[in-house]
Structure 1
């Protein structure tokens, strides 16, 4: 897609932002953030099935959280994956567009950074199939996707690091409820102190 210089976001679906944010997986028993590095390392060693690096230390791996937000309403969608490939990114886009459609929102444009997944033929072909115009942030100007970067900080504070999780599976299981809270109940300064979902028009029923 063409680099995006100026964009309008006067109605839901006019523009969605997509990106990926990464978090280290939590070992069984909890990680160092809440337990301290020594106990965190012990929990890593005790977690079964972890691959080991060249130094023979266990590697917990990375959670790649693919995020999508609507520019106008700030309504957010997210999925957790093990990579950020074009195959994964395009599958997330398909599901996100369908999810927004269930909320009565037709996605018209999608803004991404210049990561390889978003520069791929698969991404452009998927956008064309969905009837969505792909846009990219200007090179060396990542702040043009600042709305999703702010959402990533909220995601980190409100979900990823919000409390002690005794395992990665429990943290991942908590994401849908947090997203529902963010969309339906959490006041947002950009939406006049109301939850993002209140800015959607023609909302069919009550969706999570």
Structure 2
């Protein structure tokens, strides 16, 4: 790609060719455009040999790399990375290579970031995306500690936070030293990343079923027909009643493999976003205040937040512009 101060862009090269074809000397055209005669002759030669394609930039990568690391050595680097999860500073001394060379090899093979590898097997994680909204919806639950009225110790300090917790516990007439947890039930569409969440009191089967029915209505309201639902192996999702509820609505229930949360990765990543941009975004003075802030976060996430997997667009754009028929 041409830099911002380049004398010739693709458009400028076309102008150069047009002036030369009009009968003007190449040296005169070069002087007018502020470039050297060899540069002007170069683009004229490329245009005559390749036509319009010759006016576009080429890769600066060399055709051959005689000093590139041998394939056998690169294979050994990859094997150590996948089998032992070692970094360049550890692999280099083992194979007698500079750490910078090891890093280039790992980057070339897509192994330079451990987050992109499946930890048990060391294999690169295979990314997938369904072709249309509703083809697959990821469902999961995130557990969060409740906030005592007046704020927890993150907000008001350790001593005041403990007093607020105890006061909230006394108000609820409970002898337990803690005030319990909230359970954030979430559903994320695989194709569009459109998300729906609720803060509920537990993760039992009846609660999960009621949540899914409301989530199903949410997706239907956006013109999305759900085909399959992907969950982990939680007891509420493995219950017969949950499976029967999905079947009655025409949805297929699918569970991930045990100890493979990356299969349900889109909702797992959404859970991280929930924590960073909602639950821990600012100090809250009560559990009610945090719960009320969820609606604003979801609206921002679905309608305004840029998503890197969607080329910088919010999920609602993918829903509106996606191919397929929605009923």
Contact 2:135 2:227 (8 Å CA) reproduced: yes
In structure 2, list runs of 5 or more residues that go unmatched. Answer: 1-125, 323-327
| Bigger Cα Rg | 2
Q: 1: CA distance between counterparts of 2:175 and 2:140?
A: 28
Q: What residue number does 1:145 align with?
A: 264
- What secondary structure does 2:320 align onto? coil
Q: 2: CA distance between counterparts of 1:93 and 1:36?
A: 38
Q: 2: CA distance between counterparts of 1:6 and 1:50?
A: 49
Q: What residue number does 1:134 align with?
A: 253
- Which one of the candidate residues 106, 117, 124 is aligned to 2:225? 106
**TM-superposed deviation, 1:33:** 2.3
Higher-helix-fraction structure? 2
- Which one of the candidate residues 118, 140, 145 is aligned to 1:19? 140
Q: What residue number does 1:51 align with?
A: 174
TM-score, normalised with respect to structure 2 = 0.57
Q: 2: CA distance between counterparts of 1:8 and 1:122?
A: 29
Q: What residue number does 1:37 align with?
A: 158
Aligned residue pairs total 195
- What secondary structure does 1:131 align onto? coil
Q: 2: CA distance between counterparts of 1:61 and 1:96?
A: 25
- In the alignment, structure 1 residue 154 sits paired with structure 2 residue 277: no
Q: 2: CA distance between counterparts of 1:170 and 1:186?
A: 22
- Which one of the candidate residues 161, 164, 168 is aligned to 2:283? 164
After TM superposition, the structure 1 = structure 2 runs for residues 60-79 of structure 1, keeping only pairs within 5 Å, are 60-79=179-198
Shift >2 Å, 4+ stretches: 5-8, 33-39, 50-53
**TM-superposed deviation, 1:201:** 2.8
Higher-strand-fraction structure? 1
Q: 2: CA distance between counterparts of 1:108 and 1:139?
A: 22
Q: What residue number does 1:84 align with?
A: 203
Q: CA deviation digits over 1:49-96, x for unaligned, max 9?
A: 26232xxx2x22111010000011111001111110110111111111
In structure 1, list runs of 5 or more residues that go unmatched. Answer: 204-208
Q: 2: CA distance between counterparts of 1:101 and 1:193?
A: 25
Q: What residue number does 1:206 align with?
A: none
Contact 2:261 2:268 (8 Å CA) reproduced: no
Q: CA RMSD in A?
A: 1.8
Q: Which of structures 1 and 2 has the larger relative contact order (alpha carbons within 8 angstroms, sep 6+)?
A: 1
- Which one of the candidate residues 89, 97, 101 is aligned to 2:216? 97
**TM-superposed deviation, 1:32:** 1.8
TM-score, normalised with respect to structure 1 = 0.88
**TM-superposed deviation, 1:27:** 0.4
- Which one of the candidate residues 227, 235, 240 is aligned to 1:116? 235
- What secondary structure does 1:111 align onto? strand
**TM-superposed deviation, 1:39:** 2.2
